[in-house]
Structure 1
Amino acid sequence: MASFRIFSQGDILTLVNKRDGETKLGEKVDFYHHCEHSDSLSRDFGKAISSEILQKSSAKFVLLGIPEDIGVRANYGIGGTHTAWIPALKTFLNLQQNAFLKGEDILVLGQFEIPENNSTDISELREIVAEIDDLAFPIIQAIVAAGKIPIVIGGGHNNCYPIIKGTSLALQAKVNVLNVDAHTDLRNTEEGRHSGNGFSTAIKDGFLDQYRMLGLHQSYISQAQLDFIANNESIKTVYFDDLLSKEEDVRGETEMLLKDVKLPLGLEIDLDSISNILSSAATPSGFTLDEVRKVVIATKQPFCYLHICEGAHELNNGTKDETIGKTIAYLVSDFIKRFEFSR
């Protein structure tokens, strides 16, 4: 049975490597104070997290993980995306506490505990993804209702749907999204839930309005998805293929792409958009990490959430990426610092 594990201060500190004369972020981050035990689990997802308790924290950002790969495998992908969360969290917690980044701005909430399922039955996997949707959105809803900004580390891109849904319900408004991605994730919603149709499902269910895609690869978009985009005025895209022939840098293209986009605006980063990052759809051709960092840092619009997904420390085929934690930690810290510098 799936559950949500609320981290205590002790859970957090076990991931911190203390050093004399230095202070790490993990020594200063906040935690959910209602949690009395380090192994506190809640299976009542409607009541697992209280917005009122979250409001008592001075932290602006709430960090949590959805370590699963069921959505990826339900989309015929290579499993392993459940392995990125802990390396990313540990790396992030061991960043330096200093004038640029302060742990007090962050509350580390916890992680979903989703049992491993090694089934190869696609229908069964897609049913589980729909169950994960129902488990995740109330937690996001409570965070946003408390006036906080969720930072979610996955997991597959299927989790964009419960994040958008929870945010939309909390704000009582449709959410708009910038997705840095090599793929649209606009596949047929009638297939059953998986990592390839989170955004089309959010559009169908009325939670997503303006959808902006940055870095799509033309060779990996079906004609059906191209037709879907052409027939939806709320969807616009910048192709990675076109960026290769333009002098305008990615920051300028992002600015143009978001020119008429309204708030609230969420930020999605699929790590398969970055070249040579381990994911189920890893690519040798894509953005550099620094280009994506520039998007995070330089985009003028305020974001209501950050979702980083599809990365892996180790895929089911045995491939490893020892730097995935550092990659994600850079993006998370950039996201937090952009708010600090804009105050």
Structure 2
Amino acid sequence: MDKLRIYTQGDVLELVNTRPGETKLGEKVLVYHHEPTSEDQTTLANLKNSPAKFVLLGIPEDIGVRANYGTGGTASAWPAVLKTLLNTQSNPFLTGEEILVLGHFDIAEPLDQSITALRDKTAAIDLLVYPVIQQIVAAGKIPMVIGGGHNNAFPIIWGTSLALQEALNLVNIDAHADLRNPEEGRHSGNGFSHALAKGYLNQYRVFGLHQNYVNQALPHFIAKHTNLQACYFDDLLQQASLSQSWSSFVEDLDSPLGLEIDLDSIENVLSSASSPSGFALNDIRSILLHNRKKWSYLHICEGATKLANGREDLGTGKTIAYLVTDFVKNYLNIKV
């Protein structure tokens, strides 16, 4: 049965490599204390009482990616990210007490591996994820969600919008727009189409869209809708300052805001659609550290340590861990 697995302190500490004279984030992060007799672990009634501002959550699945005819493997990122993050040094820059490690979703593989069945299962994952996100945001916390496929953007937007009782404005750092037809059934390529159609998403902007992966109709579709906007990676290559381009792209967006980072956008990161051309990791780190917006959530997706085609890269966990720590440190330093 699909469910949210909530971590205990023991689950976290088991992953920490201790060393004399050092303190790791895993020794300082918080966990959610729920009643052990409770049968419904998705009820997070006590979350608002936690002093942590950020809630870390994993969705280790690749069903939505395969439902979009993509290469499986995105389920492999979460364990690597968690291990790396928990073994990051606790220090004056980030102690770890700012973060509550909630857990991850256990999602069973469907017996039927047809595209139709995978899309039905992706829709079922939506129903599993959005109520948890809704409770996290309603508790005044900021979910940091590690995927998993980009299909999970939809339930994250859904839950956040319900909690805040308004549609979100969203920026997606991505080589692809993921605006495919929602009538196809749920998959990793139409999460934002669904969110727009359901009224949970207001302004949707893609930063770093690759011209080589835009179908013939998409530029006209974006131009026709005032709430859609794209900044092409090909144009950014001709700009002197990436940080300035980013600031100009997002400066007029009002809260509530969501931030999506698809690892397909970073060059040579193992992902469902890896590319030799894209942002450098330090480009995305610079964007996060220069940011002056208060985001309602962070979603990092499509990364993998091992793909179904046999390709492996254990460095993906560290890549994502850098982005998570940058996001937290920057958010805490923004003066509003």
Q: Does 1:234 align with 2:247?
A: no
Question: 2:56 aligns to what?
Answer: 63
Question: C-alpha distance in 2, partners of 1:225/1:117?
Answer: 32
C-alpha deviation, 1:118, in angstroms: 6.8
Residue among 45, 49, 53 paired with 2:43: 49
Q: Is the CA contact 1:87–1:324 (under 8 Å) kept in the aligned structure 2? A: yes
Q: Is the CA contact 2:173–2:206 (under 8 Å) kept in the aligned structure 1? A: yes
Q: Tell me the C-alpha RMSD between the 2 structures.
A: 1.4
The alignment's TM-score, normalised by the length of structure 1, stands at: 0.95
1:204-242: CA deviations, max 9, x gaps? 000000111100001111123223211110111110011
Q: How does 1:1-343 map to 2 (within 5 A)?
A: 1-34=1-34, 36=36, 44=40, 48-50=42-44, 52-117=45-110, 119-247=112-240, 249-343=241-335
The AA in structure 2 aligned to 1:323 is G
Aligned sequence identity (%):
58
The AA in structure 2 aligned to 1:227 is H
1:104-127: CA deviations, max 9, x gaps? 111000000001347541111000
The AA in structure 2 aligned to 1:7 is Y
- Would the alpha carbon gap of residues 89 and 35 (structure 1) be closer, same or farther in structure 2, given more than 3 Å must change? farther
The AA in structure 2 aligned to 1:11 is D
C-alpha deviation, 1:48, in angstroms: 1.2
Aligned partner of residue 84 in structure 1, secondary structure: helix
Q: Is the CA contact 1:74–1:126 (under 8 Å) kept in the aligned structure 2? A: yes
Which segment is superposed worse, 110-119 or 7-16? 110-119
1:294-337: CA deviations, max 9, x gaps? 11111111111100000001000110011011000000000000
Q: Which runs of 5 or more structure 1 residues have no equivalent in the other structure? A: none
Q: Is the CA contact 1:187–1:225 (under 8 Å) kept in the aligned structure 2? A: no
Question: C-alpha distance in 2, partners of 1:187/1:285?
Answer: 23
The AA in structure 1 aligned to 2:5 is R
- Would the alpha carbon gap of residues 35 and 337 (structure 1) be closer, same or farther in structure 2, given more than 3 Å must change? farther
Aligned partner of residue 245 in structure 1, secondary structure: coil
Question: C-alpha distance in 1, partners of 2:331/2:235?
Answer: 30
Aligned partner of residue 294 in structure 1, secondary structure: helix
Question: C-alpha distance in 1, partners of 2:248/2:110?
Answer: 42
Question: C-alpha distance in 2, partners of 1:224/1:138?
Answer: 34
Question: C-alpha distance in 1, partners of 2:319/2:54?
Answer: 19
Q: Which runs of 5 or more structure 2 residues have no equivalent in the other structure? A: none
Question: C-alpha distance in 2, partners of 1:147/1:66?
Answer: 21
The AA in structure 2 aligned to 1:261 is L
Question: C-alpha distance in 2, partners of 1:268/1:114?
Answer: 22
The alignment's TM-score, normalised by the length of structure 2, stands at: 0.97
Question: C-alpha distance in 1, partners of 2:267/2:217?
Answer: 26
Q: Is the CA contact 2:68–2:188 (under 8 Å) kept in the aligned structure 1? A: yes
Which segment is superposed worse, 291-300 or 92-101? 291-300
Q: Is the CA contact 2:292–2:334 (under 8 Å) kept in the aligned structure 1? A: no
The AA in structure 2 aligned to 1:311 is G
C-alpha deviation, 1:342, in angstroms: 2.1
C-alpha deviation, 1:250, in angstroms: 1.6
C-alpha deviation, 1:103, in angstroms: 1.2
Q: Is the CA contact 2:16–2:24 (under 8 Å) kept in the aligned structure 1? A: yes
The AA in structure 2 aligned to 1:309 is C
Q: Is the CA contact 2:110–2:121 (under 8 Å) kept in the aligned structure 1? A: no
1:113-166: CA deviations, max 9, x gaps? 001347541111000000000000000000000000000000000000000000
Question: C-alpha distance in 2, partners of 1:277/1:210?
Answer: 28
The AA in structure 1 aligned to 2:308 is N
